[in-house]
Amino acid sequence: MDIQQLTVMMDEFVRGKGWYEPDSPRPQTPRSLAISLSLEAAEVLEHYQWGDHAQDKAELAGELADVTLYLLQLAMVSGIDLEQAVLDKLAANQEREWE
């Protein structure tokens, strides 16, 4: 499965819940998605709050999946081809020097 297929599955899920509707209690705007992405990333960080290793790998996997899903949706509603953006960033980083 690739990024586009995951994005379609995520979009179908959100559409099925009615969250794209204007009166949705969970508006799927770039702002709300960016906030949700940040909150989910913080939940990943919680797994490392008191140590170098996550205690529950299944819970960590769930949080990483949440981050990924919000990232896919944010890219989609913002009109960004995430796959191409990743490829472009990898190419740019290849040319970068870190000191």
- Identify the CATH number of the domain in which residue 70 sits: 1.10.287.1080
Q: Dihedral (C-alpha) 47, 51, 52, 55: value to the nearest 10 degrees? A: -50
Q: What is the DSSP annotation of 4-64?
A: HHHHHHHHHHHHHHTTTSTT-SS---HHHHHHHHHHHHHHHHHTTTTSSS-S-HHHHHHHH
Structurally, how many domains does the chain consist of?
A: 1
3-state secondary structure of 73: helix
- The predicted structure's pLDDT at residue 61: 98
- The answer to whether the beta carbons of residues 74 and 62 sit under 8 Å apart is no
pLDDT band at 99; cut points 50, 70, 90: confident
Has residue 98 got a pLDDT over 90? no
Determine the structural domain holding residue 69 and report its residue range: 3-95
In tens, the pLDDT along 38-96 reads 999 999 999 999 999 999 999 999 999 999 999 999 999 999 999 999 999 999 999 99
